[in-house]
Structure 1
Amino acid sequence: MLDRRDFMRTCSGLGLAGTLFPGVLWAQAQAQGAKKITKEMIENAAAIADVPIADDCKEMMLENLNDQAKGYEEIYKLHIPNSVEPALIFSPVVSGTKYETEKWPMKMSAAPKTWSRSVPKNLDDLAFASVRELAELVRTKKVSSIALTEMYLGRLKKNDPALKFVVTLTEERARAQAKKADEEIAAGKYRGPLHGLPWGAKDLLSTKGYRTTWGAGGFETQIFDEDATVVKRLDKAGAVLVAKLTLGALAQGDVWFGGVTRNPWNTNQGSSGSSAGPASATAAGCVAFSIGSETLGSISSPSTRCGCTGLRPSFGLVPRTGAMALSWSMDKLGPICRTVEDCALVLHAIYGPDGSDRTVQPAAFNWDANLDWRKLRVGYLKADFEKKPDEQQETAKEEPAATPEELKKGEERKKRREAARARAEYDKKYNEAALAKLKEMGMKLVPVKMPKFPYDAMVAMLTAEAAAAFDDLTRSGKDKLLTAQKDFDWPNSFRSARFIPAVEYIQAARARRMAMDAVAKVFEEFDVIVAPTSSQQLVITNLTGQPAVILPNGFRGSDAPKSSFEDPGDFRNSGGPGTPVSLTFLGGLYREAELLAFARAYQEATGFHVQHPKL
């Protein structure tokens, strides 16, 4: 049989790899079970791909196309593990980018007085406390790490059947860490605000002695013999790992091999993802904090759905060593917490170069809870806040239905568009209220626009990198083991990505560099930019690398439009009465200190973060 790797190499040598031609021709050869490519196949493929090829060239191509080139096969035989990054390293730093490199002692907020007199008899009453509050209780020995660990382990076990957020409980490890933490604190060896606090890891972070499943069928028993850098750093900070939490298979959505992780505010909905378990467990008061990851919305989306506070750090601030790779030029690790300051305290423990992840910059993160946020330059994406549902899309004319089935599908599409439009209209008031609140806080909001580029087209880089990261999965046919198999799920995306020409990947990277330069100029004028979470900024800043804080911005009322979708695993099943909405704050590269300080001020002025789901 013909080998696709040999075939693509030959097409590349003929200058055809940058077109649809090789993909079409290879598909024809495979469909016909051919042992050789024929002239007729070339003619058909050329016609479909609109690549003009003269007859005499077709004859010359036959021998080359059927020659058994060995290059791709030799690389394939290497069985390159997911942990090996490409030789080319992405950096979001452009000319003129400046960031602090000198480190200063962290300045936390004043010790909270919430539990200054007595600790609740029922420790479950502390389940939703912030990291800052829990830290003070542990530091002053009013609550032991062992007690907190047992409380959170109990809540994980109690709520997992309904929320499905646990892959593996790390009970033995957790109890040993908690015991050590209490002994150290008793001996006066206090490590800092995370010492003794239980946390959960998204199950793409390798943990020695425990399985790391990536949420995917076929990887259920996978074990690595070393901890991820972030796990090591949280160990060093004295934090207690209590669970490996769910992610949608291979970091997409909330559908994993064990089911669908649910939204604590509405268990008929998924938690969104792919940091599904971290957001669901944090919102449900089952861990003190968690670590998630984002490539294109995987901290932002579940934080929004579950009502958490999430921080997506600048690309290249937190090392990803030991984490599953999806897109080497876009993956980022960050905390999902209950408050903004919690995110700052966790970030302080996990950021900085580790000598292995070559994308990490020597930037300093100097958290100062008393930073004067009133002096910051704040912009807002005016057009995005004022944007109305796409009327053109709503009234778009469709071809007349030719069959009853097409008619039914058309009616369903119309119903979904109307539901989305109704939800957008309903949610608009929360964004308007946010701007009004910021002005009430004394902020002068300056309208700003993001530069116009074909950002969605640049996402082809993510898709191509993801397909390469899981090359063997697709080639072996093991992609059929993944639970989700819809047209927008990874198996189909990975197959489709094989038809992205190498030339177009490079062109997307060049366009991305132009966008990086343009977006960097915008942030030269602003310290913080306020944005609707669901706006185009999500794609833009994930491509250009700027950080984002996502925080609760209210809860939909009983009159909110209900979701028109019933499948918990359908990402479109969202919204409805009693569910959270969010707001996003954007910052300049490696300027998380200012960004978090401003977001904290807004959070404390609104208080939405203190509301919790009734489980």
Structure 2
Amino acid sequence: MTQPLPSGDPAPGPQATGPAAGRAPDPVANPAANPVGPGLDDIAAAERLLGVTYTPAERAQMLDNLEGQIASAVARRGVRLSNDVPMASRFDPRLPGFRPPAAPGRVRFSAADPGPLPDSDTDIAFAPLPRLAGWIARGAITSRRLTGIYLARIAALGPKLECFATVTPDLALAEADAADALTRAGVNLGPLHGIPYGLKDLFDTRGITTGWGAEPFRDRVPDRDAAIVGRLRAAGAVLLGKTTLGALAYNDIWYGGMTRNPWNPDEGASGSSAGSGSATAAGLCAFSIGTETLGSITSPCQRNGTTGLRPTFGRVSRAGAMALCWSLDKIGPMCRGVEDTAMVLSVLNGPDPADRSSIDMPFHFDAARGIEGLRVGYLPEAFAEGATAVDHAALEAVRDLGLEVRAVSLPDLPYGSLINVLYAEAAAAFEDLTLDNTDDTLTWQEDGAWPNTFRKARFLSAVDHVQLDRLRYRVMEALDALFADIDVLVGPFMTGPMLVASNFTGHPCLHLRAGFIDSPTRGKASLGSGKLSTGEAADGPTHTVPQGISLWGGLFDEGAVLALGMALEAALDVADRRPPIA
């Protein structure tokens, strides 16, 4: 899922011309549809939806003042709130007494010679960022040629994978030429100078369609750039186009079809950063940008075999990005290597007053940093039922690096219950779609899809929501205690409590390829009943597909996670394998 707080003025939400076919009038949105007001039977029925029970006398007491409560809600709904209006309250992942990681305030990447430029365009396209950056800096390849290689691959493979919503060849070549002119003048803007990338289509791009993957917004053209677009441009990166996302940042179904996994095009790429995962895995860009609310970087990285870094909440500005959940949305790089993610994050990092949740915190990374002394833990329950042989092999590989890996634990808390916070914020972000009945225009209408989820969220209790926020604080304390004893936690991203817990606490996560499994074609991901599923495998022929492992770290301590990730990536030696479609 995904992101907030656009700096531009987004196009207004679509206005309905009447109730959708088959949908009964809403007596709350339209009080005239129910002139009598709520009765005792209505209260009793509502109790069943909320999981509470009142006595007949208690119900009778409510009758005199419920109408005022409803009228207040209806009056508030008369104020239309566009997607860029933030919440007044804001989430801060730091607990009292938080201390930033004790590390030198510098960023240093690999200084090794990138070697000779390959003869094959495909080999160039799949090269890691340190080599691409080295070739450009040395004049071995121009940004224009590199951009042309990726544009040709997009033209050939993009339609098969349905991973680009919009391609911007003229803009890309113009930006590449600008980078080359600077190179000739002896100016290099940094590690992404002249490097072409794909941008998830929920980030505003001035004059370029930004459709959020959803039919009601498919013609939306913003008049400003998102904050990270400006940062990437200032760093010399080249925008190839907008990668697809599942509608409103959920799954891989969008108004242009289903984004496909390059390892098995019969199945979806997972989501919601579906196009970013698919395009990067297939070598259609050097790197891409994804977002995560609950699994939207890690899940497509798992499915497509890419390496994704979900930074600490607040590290990267979300200004100019579609808001799904203000207290959860995070922005991060999706790449083909661990150091690549560090290079991209070094450009994205930085405070921004346009994002109320932005936190000013330096990014520390040293490619030469060793892993000696790192304290590594794992949750035994995460390696129980549901874990694969690849997961267990990855844990052993960490031990083989000479590190002591010990079992750790988290308190027994209902972590999955926190997902109701996501439902409530997402339903609020797109309330107009529900109240105007324009949610019916979205293609994906299954039980787990957003339209149904938004409707059900109207029945969530506000009291429970406050209590969930307090539970969230307990979970923050639990993870704070965990990372006081260890530096990095290793485990499967889906089993165990960490996918939910770490997203709600804002802790960073690196997901990298760890091996391969043979699997039949898998179905769509789903989010419901307090858990996320990446899709069940159907019967049929199997395909060799990638499998990843996750590393979590302390708040704003991505450096430790990246150090272990680089060492593990080298030990596993599976990052260079390419999907058959490539």
TM-score (norm 1): 0.84
- Of 383, 388, 397, which aligns to 1:428? 388
Aligned partner of 2:17 in structure 1 is none
Moved more, 365-374 or 178-187: 365-374
Alignment of 1:450-461 (within 5 A): 450-461=410-421
How far apart are residue 48 of structure 1 and its match?
Answer: 4.7
Secondary structure (helix, strand or coil) at the match of 2:333 reads strand
| Deviation at residue 112 of structure 1 after TM alignment | 3.9
Distance 1:206 1:333 in 2: 14
Cα offset for 1:64? 4.6
Q: Which residue of 1 aligns with 2:87?
A: 86
Cα distance in structure 1, aligned partners of 2:505 and 2:252 = 25
Letter in 2 for 1:141: G
Kindly indicate whether residue 552 of structure 2 is the aligned counterpart of residue 552 of structure 1: no
Deviation for aligned residue 1:452: 2.0
- Which segment is superposed worse, 61-70 or 279-288? 61-70
Which structure would you say has the larger Rg?
1
Tell me the alpha carbon deviations over residues 343-363 of structure 1, each in whole angstroms, 9 at most, x when there is no partner: 000000001101111212221
Return the offset for 1:171: 1.7
TM-aligned CA deviation for residue 97 of structure 1? 1.8
Q: Which of 540, 550, 559 matches 1:593?
A: 559
Aligned CA distance change for structure 1 residues 379 and 101 (closer, same or farther; 3 Å): closer
Aligned partners of 1:218, 1:477: CA distance in 2, in Å?
Answer: 11
Q: 2:125 aligns with which of 127, 133, 138?
A: 127
Is contact 2:40–2:59 with CA below 8 Å preserved after alignment? no
Shift in Å, 1:555: 1.1
Contact 2:162–2:260 (CA under 8 A) maintained in structure 1: yes
Secondary structure (helix, strand or coil) at the match of 1:206 reads: coil
What is the rounded CA distance, in whole Å, between the counterparts of 1:460 and 1:27 in structure 2?
25
Q: Which runs of 5+ in 2 are unaligned?
A: 1-25, 527-532
Q: How many residues align?
A: 544
What do the CA deviations read for 1:96-128 (whole angstroms, capped 9, x no partner)? Answer: 32115997342111234432xxx3344232111
Q: Does the CA-based 8 Å contact 2:27-2:34 persist in structure 1?
A: no
Contact preservation (8 Å) 2:261, 2:304 = yes
Give SS of 2:107's match.
coil
* Structure 1 pair 229–483 and aligned structure 2 pair: CA distance change class (3 A): same
User: Does the 8 A contact of 1:308 with 1:338 survive in 2?
Assistant: yes
- Report the CA distance shift for 1:150/1:27 in structure 2 as closer, same or farther (over 3 A): same
How big is the shift at 1:65? 4.6
Q: The residue matched to 2:216 in structure 1 has which SS?
A: coil
Distance 2:233 2:142 in 1: 17
Alpha-carbon RMSD: 2.5
Shift of 1:232: 0.7
Alignment of 1:315-354 (within 5 A): 315-354=313-352
Residue correspondence of structure 1 range 103-114 to structure 2 within 5 A: 104-114=105-115
Matches within 5 A, 1:128-147: 128-147=126-145
Tell me which of the two structures has the higher relative contact order, counting C-alpha pairs closer than 8 angstroms and 6 or more residues apart. 2
CA contact (8 A) 1:305 1:574 kept: no
Deviations 1:23-79 (A, max 9, x none): xxx889999953322646446537756643546973x75565556975444433332
Q: Is the 8 A contact 1:279 1:306 kept in 2?
A: yes
Equivalent residue runs for 1:76-475 within 5 Å? 76-100=77-101, 104-115=105-116, 119-385=117-383, 387-388=384-385, 424=386, 428-475=388-435
**Structure 1: how far apart are the matches of 2:525 and 2:94?**
40
Q: Does 1:34 align with 2:41?
A: no
Structure 1 residue 499 displacement after superposition: 0.6
SS of aligned partner of 2:543: coil
Flag the 1:141–1:183 CA change in 2: closer, same or farther, 3 A: same
Aligned letter for 1:546?
Answer: H
Instruction: Show the counterpart of 2:535.
Output: 572
Q: 1:613 to 1:473 in 2, by over 3 A?
A: same
Residue type matched to 2:520 in 1? K
| Code of the aligned partner of 1:89 | R
Aligned twin of 1:505: 465
Bigger proportion of residues as strand: 2
Query: Contact (CA 8 Å) 1:245, 1:277: kept in 2 or not?
Result: yes
* C-alpha contact 2:162 2:258 (8 A) present in aligned 1: yes
Whether the 8 Å contact between 2:519 and 2:537 is mirrored in structure 1 is: no
- Using a 3 Å threshold, how does the CA distance of structure 1 residues 306 and 567 change in structure 2: closer, same or farther? closer
Distance 2:360 2:523 in 1: 47
In 1, Cα distance between the equivalents of 2:380 and 2:447? 34
Q: CA separation of 1:450/1:39 partners in 2, compared to 1, >3 Å: closer, same or farther?
A: closer
CA offset digits 1:458-498 (Å, max 9, x no partner): 11111100000001111000111111111111000000001
- Does the 8 Å contact 2:106/2:363 carry over to 1? no
Give the Cα–Cα distance (whole angstroms) in 2 for the partners of residues 91 and 490 of structure 1.
Answer: 26
Distance 1:526 1:263 in 2: 35
> Is 1:327–1:462's contact at 8 Å kept on the other side of the alignment?
yes
Give the whole-Å Cα distance in 2 for the aligned partners of 1:57 and 1:602: 61
Aligned-partner Cα distance in 2 for 1:354–1:300? 25
Alpha-carbon shift at residue 520 of structure 1 (Å): 0.3
Unaligned runs of 5+ in 1: 1-25, 389-423
Aligned 8 A contact 2:114 2:130 in 1: no
Secondary structure of the 2:575 match is helix
Report if aligned partners of 2:251, 2:524 keep a CA contact under 8 Å in 1. Answer: no
